[in-house]
Amino acid sequence: MFGIVRPCTHRLSHGLKAEWMAHLCGLCLALRGDHGQFARVVTNYDGLIISVLTDAQSGPGRSPRRTAGPCPLRGMRTASVAQGEGARLAASVSLVLASAKIRDHVADGNGALRRRPVAAAARRVAAGWDRAGARTGAALGFDTAVLVDAVDRQLGIEELAGPGTPLTVVTEPTETATAAAFAHTAVLAGRPGNAAPLAEAGRLFGRLAHLLDAVEDRASDAAEGAWNPLAATGASLAQARRLCDDALHGIRLALRDVEFADSALVHVLLVHELRRSVDRAFGTVSCSHQGHGAPGPYDGQGGNPYRNGGPAPYGQPPQYGQTPGGGPYIHGQQQLNGPQHPYGGGPMGPGGHGGGHGGGSGGGEGGMPPFPQQPKKPRGFLAGCAVAIGLCCTCKLCCAEEYEGPWSRKKREGCCHTCDCGDGCDCCDCCSCCDC
């Protein structure tokens, strides 16, 4: 799975988790039903938002469901899944954007795509997905040419971008594509008045998707010599973070002007989880149930720049909460017994790194700090497909606590694995206690 909105299911109420899974499975099955089994590899977390938006505007009476048969990704269980125009539009958009991603990798010569036979095969797959997505889009009254045109313009913009080019110039094609897709959900739901605010929300969502992808891939792009918006324009992480925070605020305001029949899941995904995605990309927060992080500045427990006045300070290190074992960190304060090593390897004593107690592994008692690992190189298209099939057959995409992305090789979390959150988890049905 890929996408920027990857909610930890422990933060969803039981009902919202079931709804989210219904849209995820509905997108996957719509891809299979309209375009064949292989098309299911483009199932992604962001694409299902199109289905969620259509459903949220239509209301329960116009939101069809069906019972799907057993699936390895659900532990061979049946499930109620979304179907209809929203799921099919999500499938169409996912196919066209996935084909664009393949062409982009071919143009950059990433991995195995440097080889001409592999690149030729990838181009044929991309062309087939373009045609398939266009057919489904036309049946729904959506012209996918706006998506294809945005992708074609992206390559030209990247060639012309240089130091000093605004990041918003680079993200514009992605913004245009997502704005068109979000706006068309209002047409499918029979609420044309929602088209304008949804287009604005989609435009800002596209900006976030582009920027977060650039932030997360910065190290790997540098290692491979691949093009990256931040490196090409000379923009700093603080500048990118400011744009992301502005986009989050804009999406929140735009959604207030949309007339929903049921906005609960939309609010969770596009307000709360999208904010967490930004924090995750910039390294300022992690899910508390996993035991290796504490609530960040935008988790709703204070410091929210849109509710408590003033943005969070950019470029400052994150603040850590009290660790379960009563460790040396105190919320909102520095460590009491000395500064921390910048790589996280315990306090620095007078003797330098590790406090003068060599031979350790970089823990709190001293020792040499661990050196940051080099990012793994992404897999090629065909190798990634083979790994994706293996993940599907072993149910890791669904049930694994953590697995390696088939193409990006980034750490991912299974979409419905379970664990005992304990008292330290900030799970809640946010819409029942949130006033935003």
Q: Are 217 and 228 in contact (CB under 8 A)?
A: yes
**Res. 312: pLDDT tops 60:** no
Query: What mean pLDDT do residues 160-178 have?
Result: 94
What letters, b where the CB count within 10 A reaches 16 and e where it falls short, cover 25-41? bbbbbbbeebbeeebbb
Residue 409 and residue 413: Cα distance in Å, rounded? 12
For residue 423, pLDDT over 50 is answered with no
Strands 411-412 and 403-404: antiparallel
Residue 222 has pLDDT above 80, yes or no: yes
Residue-wise pLDDT for 122-136, tens only, equals: 888 888 888 889 999
Answer for the pair 298, 305: CB distance below 8 angstroms, yes or no: yes
86, 49 contact by CB (below 8 A): no
Query: If you average pLDDT over residues 79-89, what whole number do you get?
Result: 89
- Tokens read off for 254: 């735009």
* Residue 400 banded pLDDT, cuts 50, 70, 90: low
Helix-, strand-, coil-residue percentages of the chain, each rounded to 5: 55, 5, 40
Name the more confident of 350 and 261: 261
Q: What is the pLDDT of residue 340?
A: 44
pLDDT confidence bin for 399, thresholds 50/70/90: low
| CA separation for the pair 20, 169 (Å, rounded) | 33
Give yes or no for residue 408 having a pLDDT over 90: no
Q: Which residues are registered as beta bridge partners of 361? A: 367
| Digit-coded pLDDT (tens) for 245-275 | 999 999 999 999 999 999 999 999 999 999 9
For the chain, domain boundaries: 14-282, 381-418
Question: What whole-number distance in Å separates Cα of residue 311 and Cα of residue 313?
Answer: 6
Residue 166 confidence class, pLDDT cut points 50, 70, 90? very high
Q: Greater confidence, 255 or 377?
A: 255
Query: Contact, 322 vs 332, CB < 8 A?
Result: no
Single-letter code of the amino acid located at 418: T
Q: Residue 433: is its pLDDT beyond 80?
A: no
Of the chain, the percentage scoring pLDDT greater than 70 comes to 69
Which tokens belong to 64? 């069809």
**CA 154 – CA 176 distance, rounded (Å):** 11
The answer, yes or no, to whether residue 318 has pLDDT greater than 50, is no
**Phi, psi torsion values for 366, nearest 5 degrees:** 105, -170
Mean pLDDT of the chain: 76
- Rounded CA separation 319/338 (Å): 16
pLDDT confidence tier of residue 335, bands split at 50, 70 and 90: very low
**CA dihedral (231, 216, 381, 145) positive or negative:** negative
Maximum average pLDDT range among 13-22, 280-289, 292-301, 393-402:
13-22
Residue 243 has pLDDT above 90, yes or no: yes
Question: Three-state DSSP class for 374?
Answer: coil
Structure tokens at 301: 């427990």
**pLDDT at position 294 over 60:** no
DSSP 62-124: G--EEEEEEEGGGTSEEEEEE-SHHHHHHHHHHHHHHHHHHHHHHHHT-GGGGSHHHHHHHHH
Question: What local confidence, expressed as pLDDT, does residue 434 receive?
Answer: 54
Mean pLDDT of all residues in 269-292: 77
Tell me how long the chain is: 436
Q: In this prediction, what percent of the chain has a pLDDT beyond 90?
A: 36
| Chain CA centroid to CA 424, Å | 24
CA dist., res. 202 & res. 176, Å (int): 8
SS3 412: strand
Structure tokens at 95: 């196919």
pLDDT class for 406, splitting at 50, 70, 90?
confident
For residue 300, pLDDT beyond 60? no
Q: Looking at the domain covering 14-282, what would its CATH class be?
A: mainly alpha
Task: For residue 274, give Cα distances in angstroms to 77, 101, 264, 298, 427.
Answer: 29, 22, 14, 11, 16
Can you give the pLDDT at residue 214? Answer: 93
What does the pLDDT average to over 8-21?
84
Q: Which residue has the higher pLDDT, 60 or 176?
A: 176
Nearest to 140 by CA among 188, 182, 96: 188
| CA gap 70, 257 in Å, rounded | 40
Q: Which of 176-190, 211-225, 226-240, 317-331 has the lowest mean pLDDT?
A: 317-331
Q: How far apart are CA 49 and CA 206, in angstroms?
A: 12
* pLDDT > 60? residue 67: yes
Please report the pLDDT score of residue 381 as a whole number.
74
Q: What is the pLDDT of residue 70?
A: 85
Range 168-195 average pLDDT? 95
Angle at the Cα of 279 from the Cα atoms of 241 and 162, rounded to 5 degrees: 30
